[in-house]
Amino acid sequence: MTAPKPRTGAPETGTPKTGERDGDLRRPLMRGAGVAVLGRMGALVEAASLPLFVWAYGATAYGLFAAGWALVKVASALSERGMAIALQRYAAGAEPAAARAAVGLALRTSLATATALAALLSLTAVWWAPVLAGPGAAAGAGAAGMSGSVSAGVSEVWALGLYVWVLPLWTLLEVATAAVRATARFGAEVRVRIAYEQGLRLVFGLGLAGAGLGAAGLFLAHGASLLIAGLLALRLVRRSYGAPVAALWACDRATAPAGLDRFARAMIAVPVMRRLMSEAPVMLLSALAGPAAAAVYAVARKVASVMQVLRAAVDYAMAPLLAGSARRDASGAGARDLADFARRVVVIVGPPLAAGLLVVRGDVLRLFEPHFAAAALPIAVLVAGRLVEALCTPATVVVEMTRGHWLSTLNTAAGLALLLAGTPALMILAPGLGATLAAAMAAAAGLALAGGLAAVQAGLAAPGAGDRPQPGTAGTAGILRALAGGVVAAAVVAAVSGPTADLAPFAGLGAAIPALVLAVWLGLRLGLTADDRRALRRR
């Protein structure tokens, strides 16, 4: 019996979309990646809000907020219980009833875990909050207006102890948008991520700062924006799966796809370690060198995180397509073709994006207080690390979706171990580097190691020389052509925006954006094969 369609008219979860029916996933990949780039515009909104928040609240107060936000994101990776990853593998392509049960199970388990973890963190804040605040935080927090009628240390405990209650809201947002993404209806959550989670935080934050609320306004603004975004994310889930959230919540656990819960439990460590790869340096610097150092690193990381747009776009679009292809094609030919195409696109787009960031970093840092100029070199180091990570993203997704889960865990653990050991080691052995640059070097090395291991593993699992080449797979020649396109595109960005940066403040920033658009278009034109271009034009 054919299952009824969702009431909204959305395609059933297991129905291939246009462009997928013939097994060619290149156009759906680019469509999904393009929408994911729009979704990641929220990161650009957050980057644009950084100088405003620093000027409104001060570097120390913002550094304390950044450390608390880092803790929440790491904790949410644990409270998600691996469900965001598992939904991409098990809800994508599943029958509607099974997909709804999977979403209900994911929401129940993740929110229960997040609530319990938030309660634990709040009750124990008196012990961990002063450590996270680090040396010198008390004076800075008091200057920022956090102390009120009590000591600054007590204010930090209260601020962080209450702020951790955004953990269930952030977990809800992550799992709900992952559920929507698993339907391959790309872009439904873009407005939630940009307009509500990021845009409202900026509006509320500046409004509360203007009202004289002090640094606590930054924490309250984020909590309010997450509450609104979480409720809207639930609305998207209802529309995507054609059932009220209460009905999804009440779905029988036995109806969920077999292996979902087991796979999710096995994958818990991977998102936790990935979040630590990004957030651990902020927490380490806050604890070891104070929130002001954490604020400088947070700015450097946020500028470099524009490179994550590329990684997130490929991961966002490729994971559900790869999982669905693996179910329809046991030979894995479609998955290999998809991974090869994604690899060529990343090799073309990554270099010009990195070149643009290196050119405009000086203009970006002019928006901050003068001592933030120290972030220039850490930005360059982190951009290099993020570029290597982006180039390895197709391999990372292949390993995560098609190989044993222990490989993803091993790769991320190796990179995290290098980061955690390298940061204090460099601070001790090479104190002249400074704490921020030491953390950036360790983080970049960890990212490169994790991505490199995945690339090696995906290469070892590639088809042998005797296998017949798949359509659209250009092999080594295709990668070399893509690399040439990427190098040409990077040269265009450097040639156009580099000299312009010396003409006037912010001139390089203004020239880099159109130069990047032109360079990416030219790189794709030169670097993609004729078959790739025909596939992208196919309706």
DSSP type of residue 252: -
Q: What is the pLDDT of residues 370-387, one digit of tens each?
A: 888 889 999 999 999 999
pLDDT band at 262 (very low <50, low <70, confident <90, very high): confident
- Token pair, residue 130, equals 């002063």
Cα distance between residue 539 and residue 530, in whole Å: 16
- Token pair, residue 289, equals 């060198």
pTM for this prediction? 0.76
DSSP type of residue 196: I
102 or 246, which is more confident? Answer: 102
Residue 370: how many CB atoms within 10 A of its CB?
A: 8
Give the residue carrying structure tokens 């913002």: 62
pLDDT band at 112 (very low <50, low <70, confident <90, very high): very high
Mean pLDDT value across the chain: 79
Cα distance between residue 416 and residue 205, in whole Å: 33
In one-letter notation, the amino acid at residue 96 is P
Which of 149, 1, 150, 125 shows the shortest CA–CA distance to 64?
A: 125
- Token pair, residue 486, equals 């990427």
Model confidence at 503: pLDDT above 80: no
Cα within 13 Å of Cα(351), Cβ side: 23
Q: What is the pLDDT of residues 433-453, one digit of tens each?
A: 999 999 999 999 999 999 999
Reduced to 3 states (helix: H, G, I; strand: E, B; else coil), residue 506 is coil
The pLDDT score that the predictor gives to residue 4 is: 40
Element (H, E) at 125: helix 125-133
Q: What is the pLDDT of residues 479-502, one digit of tens each?
A: 888 889 889 999 998 888 877 766
Q: What is the pLDDT of residues 15-69, one digit of tens each?
A: 444 444 445 566 666 666 665 565 566 666 777 788 888 888 888 888 889 889 9
Model confidence at 331: pLDDT above 90: no
In one-letter notation, the amino acid at residue 470 is Q
Angle at which helix 26-39 crosses helix 41-57, to 10 degrees, equals 10
Model confidence at 92: pLDDT above 50: yes
* Residues 383 and 441 sit within 8 Å (Cβ to Cβ): no
The pLDDT score that the predictor gives to residue 154 is: 42
Give the residue carrying structure tokens 């963190």: 121
Reduced to 3 states (helix: H, G, I; strand: E, B; else coil), residue 369 is coil
Cα distance between residue 291 and residue 211, in whole Å: 24
In one-letter notation, the amino acid at residue 276 is L
Residue 38: how many CB atoms within 10 A of its CB?
A: 16
The pLDDT score that the predictor gives to residue 371 is: 81
- What are the domain boundaries of the chain? 26-461+469-537
Q: What is the pLDDT of residues 386-403, one digit of tens each?
A: 999 989 888 888 887 776
323 or 79, which is more confident? Answer: 79
Cα distance between residue 489 and residue 497, in whole Å: 12
Residue 530: how many CB atoms within 10 A of its CB?
A: 7
- Token pair, residue 21, equals 């029916």
Across 77-86, 311-320, 352-361, 515-524, least confident range? 311-320
> What are the residue ranges of helices labelled H in 58-95?
59-79, 83-90
Which of 383, 216, 369 shows the shortest CA–CA distance to 310?
A: 383
Which of 299, 306, 449, 311 shows the shortest CA–CA distance to 377?
A: 299
The pLDDT score that the predictor gives to residue 177 is: 85
Q: What is the pLDDT of residues 120-166, one digit of tens each?
A: 999 999 899 888 887 654 444 443 344 333 333 447 788 889 999 99
The pLDDT score that the predictor gives to residue 180 is: 84
Cα distance between residue 156 and residue 177, in whole Å: 32
* Torsion 99-261-86-113 (CA) sign: positive
The pLDDT score that the predictor gives to residue 16 is: 42
Residues in the chain, how many? 539
DSSP type of residue 184: T
Cα distance between residue 160 and residue 108, in whole Å: 26
* Residues 245 and 234 sit within 8 Å (Cβ to Cβ): yes
Vertex 122, ends 120 and 124: CA angle to 5°?
70
Q: What is the pLDDT of residues 225-254, one digit of tens each?
A: 999 998 888 888 888 787 777 777 777 766
For 91-143, the DSSP string reads TTT--HHHHHHHHHHHHHHHHHHHHHHHHHHHHTHHHHHHHHH-TTHHHHHHH
Q: Which residues, 6+ apart, have CB-to-CB distance to 326 below 8 Å? A: 332, 335, 401, 402
Cα distance between residue 478 and residue 159, in whole Å: 53
